[in-house]
Chain A
Amino acid sequence: KAGVTQTPRYLIKTRGQQVTLSCSPISGHRSVSWYQQTPGQGLQFLFEYFSETQRNKGNFPGRFSGRQFSNSRSEMNVSTLELGDSALYLCASSPNPGKDTQYFGPGTRLTVL
């Protein structure tokens, strides 16, 4: 089976712009979670989607949003980018939410200038 894929792998944006990141889960996985990873804060949970519904949301401002499509692919969007949004954004998929092992993609490295 193909693993979790994330596109693009690298992005450079300027402050105030918006960005959309994409995640394709492992075939058959219906749950997709997003994390932000920075050197100072470590791995921080953004949100989780299951069957096109957001089930959980972390403590991030409303500028961060996401969605999941009927084929389980997910996108996350960040509007009005700030310098502090520079991070590695990781997507993870699992068959079901919660206890199932999460399988991670390689991440999207976002740099905000």
Chain B
Amino acid sequence: AQSVTQLGSHVSVSEGALVLLRCNYSSSVPPYLFWYVQYPNQGLQLLLKYTSAATLVKGINGFEAEFKKSETSFHLTKPSAHMSDAAEYFCAVSVPTGNQFYFGTGTSLTVIP
């Protein structure tokens, strides 16, 4: 079975500071991993995805994530936070032979001016 754990339901950073959102997964087979962002009253938008190619994945809006198999992690980072990054972020896992996505509980990012 697959599962996702997002450490920290709320994260606050200053504008211009590093953003680090943590995601750990559990999967019995090599997973596909995703990060989504949700702005207020909107659906989820794909930020980036890992599908067993390069372990460092670059996404939209300057975000990137690194797949670390030994740590079963897929943390999301951005070197410099912008006010527009304030949103809810979700990590998700699926498997190539599976038929369902599993989402984490989400991390709310606040950017302090």
- A: residues with CB less than 8 A from B are 4, 33, 35, 42-43, 45, 48, 55-56, 90, 92, 97-99, 101-107, 109
Contact = CB atoms under 8 A, between A and B. Distances in A.
A8 B50 CA distance: 33
Top 3 nearest A-B pairs (CB, nearest first) are A104-B43, A104-B44, A98-B99
A109 B94 contact: no
Interface residues of B, number: 26
B46 A101 contact: yes
B12 interface: no
Q: Is the interface of A mostly helix, strand, loop or mixed?
A: strand
A21 B42 CA distance: 16
Interface in B83-113: 90, 92, 94-106
Given A99-B98, A106-B43, 18 more contacts: A43-B103, A43-B105, A45-B101, A48-B99, A55-B99, A90-B43, A97-B99, A98-B95, A98-B98, A98-B100, A98-B101, A99-B95, A101-B34, A102-B34, A103-B46, A106-B41, A106-B42, A107-B43
Contacts of A99: 32, 51, 94-96, 98
A92 B95 CA distance: 17
B43 A43 contact: no
